Chain A
């Protein structure tokens, strides 16, 4: 199956700093990647859809200036949490879309646990 990596897997930072999370598709090209956020014991919440070479599409309520997304290549999308605050602490998960009609599937990275002190 398709493999998606995420880095870092865990990060602890001080309030006010920025954190960058990388999402890579290792064995396929992904024109579309998705960024999710998951709070404890809850389902995934889609934050934004990242398209290679164009601006990301953010879901309602997600601040695009706070959560910067860059999808500069077909295998890499990055999410930068700017001026992080404790309420940004969460589990961030990316996925990459494997296209191809009936084979259409999203494969997920292992997630990044962010703790803002």
Chain B
């Protein structure tokens, strides 16, 4: 069965702190894709990153970084020096062989000023 687990329901930190959002996935596919999306209070889903299963290089984009570990089936997301504008719900997702996305439950991130 394919599954995405985001165990952290809600995280609250003070601005400028670093924060890591966890994502653990299950799949029997040897080739798969993982995604992170951000959903701010407005509701619109914003694409953040796509990662292929055969590319384990970690990625950094400004204050955002992603750690992909196939050995532990994890694809964690770190925000460095968090800002209030980072407050949102973050979803991790796994693309299945039918091109559908299997969604995690989401982690609500609250950045306090």
Mark the stretch among B18-26, B44-52, B73-81 that contacts chain A. Answer: B44-52
Residues from chain A with Cβ under 8 Å of B91 in the complex: 43-44
Residue in A closest to B44 when the chains form the complex, CB atoms = A110
CA distance A67 to B13 in the complex (A): 41
Q: Which of B41-85 contact A (CB under 8 A)?
A: 42-47, 50, 52
CB within 8 Å for A49 and B100 given contacts A104-B95, A105-B35, A108-B37: yes
In the bound complex, residues from chain B placing their C-beta under 8 Å from that of A34 are 100-101
- Chain B nearest CB, measured from A114 CB (Å): 12
- Beta-carbon contacts under 8 Å, A31-77 to B: 32, 34, 42-44, 46, 49
| Contact, CB under 8 Å: A102 / B104 | no
CB <8 Å contact, B105 and A43: yes
Q: A110-B43, A111-B43 given as contacts; is B33 within 8 A of A104 (CB)?
A: yes
A42 CA to B99 CA in the complex, in Å?
A: 22
Q: A34-B100, A46-B100 known; A108 and B45 CB under 8 Å?
A: yes
Please report the C-alpha to C-alpha distance between residue A103 and residue B47 in the assembled complex, in whole angstroms.
13
Is A113 an interface position by the 8 A CB rule? yes
From the candidates A97, A102, A109, name the one contacting B52 in the complex (CB within 8 A). A102
Q: Mark B25-36, 1 if CB is under 8 A from A, else 0.
A: 000000001010
The interface centre, meaning the residue of B46, B99, B104 with most chain A CB atoms within 10 A of its CB, is: B99
Residues of A close to B46: CB separation below 8 A: 108
Contact with B along A79-99 (1 / 0, CB 8 A): 000000000000101010100
Q: Which residues of B line the A interface, CB within 8 A?
A: 33, 35, 37, 42-47, 50, 52, 91, 95, 98-101, 103-106
Additional A-B contact list (12), CB under 8 Å, known A104-B50, A111-B43: A32-B99, A34-B100, A34-B101, A42-B106, A43-B104, A43-B105, A49-B100, A104-B99, A106-B47, A109-B44, A110-B42, A110-B43
Interface residues of A (CB under 8 A from B): 1, 32, 34, 42-44, 46, 49, 91, 93, 95, 97, 102-111, 113
Could you list 12 A-B pairs, sorted by A, with CB under 8 Å?
Answer: A42-B105, A43-B91, A44-B45, A46-B100, A91-B43, A93-B43, A102-B52, A103-B50, A104-B33, A106-B101, A108-B45, A108-B47
